[in-house]
Amino acid sequence: MEVLVLEIEDPGCFWVTMKGCGPYIVDEIEYKNLNAEMNQFYDKSYKDVDEVKPLMVEEGQICVVFSEELKCWCRAVIKSIMYCTDHYQTECFLVDYAKYIFVKSKDIRVALEAFMQIPYRAKKCRLYRTKPVTLRIDFCKDTAKIVPAKRWDSAATRYFQNLLKATTQMKAKLCAVEGNTFDVFLYVTIKDEKVCVNDDLVSKNFARFEEAKENTGNSADYQENQTSLNVESLPVKIVNTALAFRPVLFQEKVSTNLETGLGISSSFLEETYQRSSTDLNENTASIVKGIPGLPFKENTAVHTDRLQQFLNSDPLKTHIIEDDQQSFQNLSEERNFVFLSDKIEPSSVLETAPLFDHLKKELTRKKFLGPNFTESYCWPPVARGCDVVAISYQGNDPFLYIPPVLTFLQSGSCYKALPNRNGPIALILCPGWKKAQLVFELLKTYERCSRQLHPMLIILGQNKEEARSVKIRGCEVIVTTPYSLLRLFEHHSLLFCRLCHLVLDEIDVLFSDTTEQVFTVLDCYKKAIITEEWEYSPHQIIAVGTHWNKHIAHLIKEFMNDPYIVITAMEEASIYGNVQQVVRPCMNSERTAVLLKILDFTCSNLQKVLVFTNSVNEAEMVHKALKSNSIFSLKIHKESEFNFKYILEQWTNKYSSGTHVVLVLTDDCMQSLGITDATCVIHFSFPSPRIFGQRLHSMSDNFCNMIKNSSVDQEYTKARSVILLTENSACHALGILRYLQHAEAEIPPELHDLTAKMLETEEDKKFSRPLCAYLKTFGICKNRTVCPDRHQINLQIDVPQNIPDKIIQTPGCVTILPLHIVNATNYFGRIVDKQKDQYTILAEEINEYFKKPSNTISVKNVEKLAFYGLCEKTLFHRVQVVEISPKEDENLFFNVKIKYIDEGRTSQVPSHQLLHLPAKFQCLPPQAVEFVVCRVKPIDNEIEWNPKVTHYIHHKIKGKLHEAKIVHTLGNTAWVDPMVRVTRLSDLKMSVNEYNVRSEILSTGLGTDNPEHITQLQKLCGHMKVLDHAKNLEPLSIKEDTAGPENASNPQNMSIQESSTENYGVAQTKEAEDSTLHQRKCFYPEIKWFQNEDTVTVTVKTASVADCKCEFSKEKVVFSACSGDKLYLADMELHQYILAEKSTCVIKDKETIIVLAKEKKGAWCKLLKNENPHVSFDFEHWEDFEDKSPFPVGTKKLYCTAAVTEELVDSSEDSGTESDEKNILACWGLFFQETLGCLYLKTGRTTVLIRLH
């Protein structure tokens, strides 16, 4: 692997960062994303610094500090603490940059677990089995000799440092891992000469090779000191921040192949060693064993040309090597492939990259490793102002375009011909606000070393006034999303008048989610550059992504000018090249017969077919089968008697039309052969995804350029890929299906059946996982196949928890206290009992108990999942230990992860802060409940809430009592709709609705309606009984105000929006039981109603009804209908009389509309005489009226206001006022209604309820 040295102490201790791919290497883009997220979080997310300050600091503690040199927040480990006159000074080691800095203790921040999920970037290394020596002089004998030493000589260290400074390229071969140190062979290139540093130090007498112990496999002591690289045993993530300092990717102790990460046998290692030995010159006397358990013969001489097959590889070229054995030594070397529409000279070194000097210096200062493979091909055409399309595995990395675009923007003379108006020169479109935020942060970082561009991040909601108020004066670069841009364009028509550079970031996501919006932007850009004044100005479109999309072809044809197409993902290049993908399902034993059928065809053109196998035995078997069927074929594998030169000569011979040339080979021969002109690839055995792309690259010469040659028939293709899908390929079936869908290829039914079973099996494996957060919050998970969480109901986990039984039995209005805000609609908090809240009593007792110093007893032996007390500022909390960090030998204390069981939040605290919690305080179950506000989601198909909304809701609701209606419960989660803040004015004896949380979210313009939220959850539940005791439901009521604040009235505008009654049966009225349909189980439908002066409109929610009947009488309506196998019956005894002959019933697709003509004009305060939990007022119509005017005046609003009474008032007899007594007035936009002893007032968005005495 390629490495970059960060810091050098001596040859036995130096720090590097690794490039490339492997089970122990993290892509650099992940570190960039981590850095951007950390900067965003610690700079902006917390106004209150105390929330992210550690309670204490100690040596070895993981933390986050700000580096003045790097100008960013960095992960660090505290190495030492020094006391100064007025503060503590800490020496911290930056674990991603291998730097030591001094930081004041007050400037240290807590390292959140989310920022510790990937290993440290800086890896501590030492030269493998290369030990220091020194010159020992014996004055008595007057002799001097070189002997082993305990530490490195200063001359050796200086030589080592100079050697690494002079290198132009550096590679390392990982041999072993011990503790947190990597043992490596280090190879450097100096003046085009490659040198093994280990050998060089030994040859210069600066070091010696440590002799290896013989190991036959039974030496337990030796094995215990070695650490394996078995990728199958690697943990997915760091589960504790205290473990992050160690290279967590290396845990188990099983010998593995370091190149592939797969376990290998000792016999294979021995063969590999023997082949390697034959490549050395006769004068070479020593081969140092690189992997434990590898038998070898140790000698003393040293040769610096160790393992030439490793050193002489070129990642960009394929060489034909005559020596068979040497060729196979190169097979494990990683090689990158690229498909180009036009020739590009790559810039693989930062010094020669087409960037301006100040940017190069800034990148060097930030330890940028230089352009990766894709960047080396993308930067040159982008920096020249050409149109570029780049598809790569790193296609979501903004660094593919940011450095060269910044370079081009430095040349101000290019833009002199532009009109002198306000407007951006460059526009970057991102698929969502989160990616736009990342791009903007990178632009701000690197804009410091360029001319002032004044970049702007514009994320707009649906509030038109917000878009109208945006000022873009002086801004030259805008980062935004398609939806936000079009909202801005409505009010800034000259937005495109100066636009030269349009960047489409993650083009595949943009086209899949916002196709119409992107093409609208492209049309506007195209119209803007047609004018004559653009003749001498640059215009450039850059599109980068990870997948090819069919709309990209249209983008290139209609909007780009001869673009450079760079594709480094070969699977995507094959889709661009119109390679025909064919899947042949068969049994494993039938593969040979199917292969023969595939090859048994005649064609007028020359056919070159590659048959790929996974093993030597397989290749031999296939070759014999072809030969026995008189099919001319070649074969090549690592044990073949033919060398590569012979095979290539046969392959490249000129053959007549209609000839079939078949080559059977194994994957390890691909790179050495370098074939690119095959017309057909047959996957006799299916490989890993990376190898699959390399196989397709063998046909790259025959990829069709469908963009330039539009006359080519879409059905015609020169290249073909055939996959033999057997029962042994089941593990790849899902990947094959997704790829075929992406390629729009024909999919056999067998593959659909197989993947359906696999997906079901995968979901079953997640059965013990938590329920998916997206499913809970929005009712749907868009990435279900890759989401690690559960998407089905688990009856054992999803039984209600921490929710009082009386609320489950009689769900209705509850008082909740949000304490931990996760996002705009997801909170943790408590359900508060107004009459007698048990937790309030318990909290007072706990704080009173711990006020006595004798009761604050620290816990000595901390146990996982046990309950303890914890002091936070002046309050004491009940906490549960959910995770314990490994104890360090030298540390008396260690950190534990705790959960505040009555609030729902988690934190890391030192173990000594935990206090013994008496059993009497543990009796009350944990009070924390998760609340989800229903029927609202982010705009623009986003899957995460914009931080602006979350921040706004956080400050509005945290720690405040709210009234809420529970409509659904699963596990420890309660879905509420609505959730309202009610304030009681005790002096005036009235209650005021301050706000509805859902309405507040919608008012930000960044949220939108999500009507299917609860419906989706109910479908998920299926047979589960949600709100099973619905027959006991009572509408939200307002009772007489007799007590203190705990009896604050319920919110007036709460809708009783019940769960679908299709999930449970409801006992019907006596009349229904006496009907002719009484033998079938009946369901009461969901009914909503609204009114005007003359009529009442009743909406019955039933889909696809049959046999619908509606009988009208003066005081009654009986509705019945069948939907599927269910019978719905509603016998409604009306509150007032109707005209039966003028009433009508209209059946629609998903609902039935019943219009009742009132006998007397006027407002009804309710629909039915008696309470019914399935009947509610239609607030959607009420809200529509409200939106027409801030001070609504008119009969419609007046009667809607009157109708609200049904939801708000208690119809009990002791109310003291007849329900018919009401007085409705309208004046100056204020609306009053007196009913049941209450005066209801509404103006604009303010709602007031006044109790009359």
Whether a cis peptide bond, with omega within 30° of 0, leads into 978 is yes
CB 777 within 8 A of CB 968: no
CB 35 within 8 A of CB 368: no
DSSP annotation of 717 reads -
pLDDT of residue 85: 57
- The token duo for 637 is 């594998």
Provide the phi-psi class of 789: left if phi over 0, else alpha when psi is between -120 and 50, else beta: beta
DSSP annotation of 279 reads T
* CA nearest neighbour of 188 among 3, 335, 13, 368: 3
**Type and span of the H or E element at 444:** helix 433-447
Helices 357-365, 402-409: inter-axial angle, 10-degree rounding: 150
Strands 607-613 and 680-683: parallel
Say how far apart CA 170 and CA 190 lie, in whole Å: 9
CA 1163, 1166, 1168, 1169 torsion-angle sign: negative
Q: Which residues of the chain have pLDDT under 50?
A: 214-334, 711-716, 888-890, 1023-1080, 1183-1238, 1240, 1242-1246, 1251-1253
The position carrying tokens 């197409």 is: 565
pLDDT of residue 534: 63
Say how far apart CA 1179 and CA 975 lie, in whole Å: 19
pTM above 0.85, yes or no: no
pLDDT of residue 721: 92
How far is the CA of 643 from the CAs of 157, 327, 398, in angstroms? 45, 9, 44
Which residues contact residue 833 at a Cβ distance below 8 angstroms, ignoring those fewer than 6 apart?
A: 804, 815
Strands 1175-1177 and 1086-1091: parallel
Q: Count the Cβ atoms, other than its own, within 10 Å of residue 162.
A: 10
DSSP H helices in 279-316 = 308-311
Which residues contact residue 763 at a Cβ distance below 8 angstroms, ignoring those fewer than 6 apart?
A: 790, 791, 792
* CA nearest neighbour of 427 among 382, 480, 506: 480
Provide the phi-psi class of 471: left if phi over 0, else alpha when psi is between -120 and 50, else beta: beta
Say how far apart CA 187 and CA 311 lie, in whole Å: 8
Task: Read off φ and ψ for residue 857, nearest 5 degrees.
Answer: -100, 115
Provide the phi-psi class of 580: left if phi over 0, else alpha when psi is between -120 and 50, else beta: beta
* CA nearest neighbour of 886 among 60, 54, 24: 60
Q: What angle do CA 58, 59, 65 make, to 5 degrees?
A: 80
In the beta sheet, which residues pair with residue 1120?
1109, 1129
Task: Read off φ and ψ for residue 712, nearest 5 degrees.
Answer: -70, 135
In three-state secondary structure terms, 141 is coil
**Type and span of the H or E element at 393:** none
What are the pLDDT digits (tens) for 1035-1078?
Answer: 333 233 333 333 333 333 333 333 333 333 333 333 333 333 34
- The token duo for 667 is 């994957």
- The token duo for 806 is 């009386």
In three-state secondary structure terms, 112 is coil
Say how far apart CA 237 and CA 217 lie, in whole Å: 31
* CA nearest neighbour of 1017 among 975, 984, 1079, 983: 975
pLDDT of residue 437: 93
pLDDT of residue 632: 84
In the beta sheet, which residues pair with residue 7?
15
pLDDT of residue 335: 62
What are the pLDDT digits (tens) for 442-488?
Answer: 999 888 888 888 999 999 999 888 888 888 888 899 999 999 999 99
